[in-house]
Amino acid sequence: MAGDIVIGGGGSIAVATSELFEDARRLSELRMLLSDCHRQLVSIDRLVGLAQLNTLTSPSSAFAAERSMDDAAAALARAAPSAEHLHFALIASAHAYGIGESLAERCAQDVAGRFGAMLGLWLPVIALEVLPAAIGIGAGVAMGIALLPPEQRAALFRALPDWLREKSVVLSDPRVVQLARFTVMSVDDFGGGLLRLPPELVHAMGDEGLGLVGLATSASVLVSIAGTRGALVESAVSVTRSGPTVSTTRAESYSDRAARIPQGAAQVRIERYSQPNGPARFEVFVGGTRDFSLEPGDEPWDMTSNVNAIAGREAGAYRAVTQAMADSGISSSSPVVFTGYSQGGLIAAELAASGDYDTRGLYTVGAPAAQVAVPPSIPWVAIEHTDDLVPAVGGSWASADPVLVRRELFDGGPVPTDVILPAHQLSSYRETAALVDASTDPRLVSALAAFDHFGDGTARVESTLYRGVRQRR
C-alpha cells in the first residue's frame, strides 16, 4: 500500500510523482550549490598569481595545486549547467506527461460519450432482441428465490453484503474505477440517444461540447424519477450540538485536518479561531455518508443528499452544515476554510462555490466533487485514490482545477475484503495525507501555507461537534 502520490493541477499542466518533483528540486539546489562553489574557487584562484607561486619554497607543488584548482573550476563549470539541464528535463517530462494524460482522458471520454449516444439510439432494437431471454432468465431467478424456504431465502439476502465485500478486489481495480468515471459522464449522452436526438447534436450539447447537459442533468432526472416512488426525496433537517465546546489547537497540516473530520454520530465539526484584533475565523470539517439507503430516514448524510448534491440541488446535508455554521456564528463575511471527506467533500466544495461565504481554502479527500465549479481564486487541494470508486461517480475534472493528488492505494498489493470499498476508508486517506505533508511540491506547499496563514494571530481555538437529523414528514 505504498504507492507514491501523483500531483497535478493547480494551474499547471505538469503531472508527476512527488518523488520526481523532489528530484527536480534537489537538482535545482545542486545547480546553485555548484555555481556558488565555482565562484568561490575562481575567487581564490585569482588571489594566487605566478608571482606569489615563485616565492614559495616548493614551487612545483604549488603549480600542481594551481592546475588542480583550474581542473576543479572547469569541472564545476560543466557540472552546474548539467544539473540545470537535468532539472529542466524532469520538469519538461512532467509537463509532457500531463499533456499526454489530459489528451488521453479527453479522447477516452469523447469515445465513451459517442458510444453512450449510439447505445441509447439503438437500445430499442437491442432490447427487442434480448428482452425475451432477459425476462426468461430474470423470471427463473426470481421464481427460484421465491421457492426457497424462508430461512434459506433470508440467508441468501444476508450473504449479499459478504458477496459484495468479496468483490471489493474488482471494485478497487483502477481500470474499473476509470470505467465508472467515463460511464457516469456518458449517461447524458445515452439519454440523448434514447430520445432519438442526432448523435452529433448530443455530443455538441454534452460535456465534450458546450456542456449544456451533463452529470448534473442526469442526476436531476434520476431524482425526479425516483421521487415518484418516494425515494431520493429531500426533507427538512434540524441540527443540534453534539457535546460541549472544547478547547483545542490549530490544525497545521493536511494529515491533521484529515484527522479532524468527524466519523461518529456527529457529522460536522466547527473550529472557531478567536482573533485578538479582528473577527473570528472558522474551519469547518464535514464527514462522509452514513446511510446508503435510497429512501430517506433520519440521517441527512445519506444517498438522497448524495444524488441531490450531484444534481446541483440543495441537499439535506448541505442545509444541515449551513445551520451548524449559523449556530457557531459564521456569517457571510466570516473567513472560513472547508475540509470534507466523501459526501462531506462534495458539500464542502458546493459551500465554497456558492459565494455565500468568505472562503479562504478548500481541502477534500475521497470526494465526488469533480463537477463543482469552485472559483480558481480559492486554494483547493483534492486527494483521490485511483482505486476508490466514490470520487469517480463525481465525474471528470472539468469544472475546476484544484491541486489534485492521486495515489493507487494498494498498487498491486492485496486488497482487503472486510469492507466493500477498502480504498475509500478515511483511515487510508489519512495515511495518504501524511505523504502529502512530506511532499515539497510548490503547489502543495503554497496551498498549505495559505491554510496555515489563515490562522495567524489566533489567541484561542474552540471546537464544537454538530449532529444533523432529517425531520419526518
**pLDDT (tens place) for every residue of the chain, 473 residues total:** 456 899 998 888 777 777 777 777 777 878 788 888 878 878 777 766 556 655 655 666 666 777 777 778 788 788 878 878 776 777 777 667 667 777 777 777 677 667 666 666 666 655 555 445 544 555 555 556 566 677 766 665 566 666 566 666 888 899 999 888 888 888 777 777 666 677 777 667 666 666 666 788 778 888 888 887 778 889 999 999 999 999 999 999 999 999 999 998 999 999 999 988 888 999 999 999 999 887 788 999 999 999 999 998 999 999 999 999 999 999 999 999 999 999 999 999 999 999 999 999 999 999 999 999 999 999 999 999 999 999 999 998 877 889 999 999 998 788 888 888 999 999 999 999 999 999 989 999 999 999 988 888 888 999 999 999 998 76
Q: How far, rounded to the nearest angstrom, does the alpha carbon of residue 58 sit from its chain's CA centroid?
A: 68
Q: Are 35 and 73 in contact (CB under 8 A)?
A: no
Predicted local distance difference test score (pLDDT) of residue 329: 96
What is the torsion angle, in degrees rounded to the nearest 10, for the CA atoms of residue 114, residue 118, residue 120 and residue 122?
A: -170
Q: Which amino acid is it at 324?
A: A
- Grid cell, residue 186, equals 456518458
Q: Are 282 and 271 in contact (CB under 8 A)?
A: yes
First-to-last alpha carbon distance for the chain, in angstroms, is 46
User: How many CB atoms are located within 10 Å of the residue 191 CB?
Assistant: 19
Predicted local distance difference test score (pLDDT) of residue 52: 60
Predicted local distance difference test score (pLDDT) of residue 131: 47
Predicted local distance difference test score (pLDDT) of residue 41: 77
358-365 and 460-470 beta bridge pairing: unpaired
403-407 and 6-9 beta bridge pairing: antiparallel
Backbone angles phi and psi of 268, in degrees to 5: -135, 135
pTM score of the predicted model:
0.80
- Grid cell, residue 41, equals 574557487
C-alpha 34/C-alpha 234 separation (Å) is: 64
Predicted local distance difference test score (pLDDT) of residue 46: 73
Helices 316-327 and 343-354 cross at an angle (nearest 10°) of 70
Predicted local distance difference test score (pLDDT) of residue 125: 57
User: How many CB atoms are located within 10 Å of the residue 114 CB?
Assistant: 19
Query: What does DSSP assign to residue 391?
Result: H
Q: How many residues does the chain have?
A: 473
Calculate the alpha carbon distances from 400 to 42, 231, 351, 382 in Å. 51, 30, 14, 11
Q: Are 274 and 329 in contact (CB under 8 A)?
A: no
Predicted local distance difference test score (pLDDT) of residue 7: 93
Predicted local distance difference test score (pLDDT) of residue 444: 94
Predicted local distance difference test score (pLDDT) of residue 283: 98
Query: What does DSSP assign to residue 7?
Result: E
Query: What does DSSP assign to residue 302?
Result: B
- Grid cell, residue 35, equals 555555481
Calculate the alpha carbon distances from 207 to 80, 100, 138, 144 in Å. 47, 20, 35, 43
C-alpha 351/C-alpha 110 separation (Å) is: 30
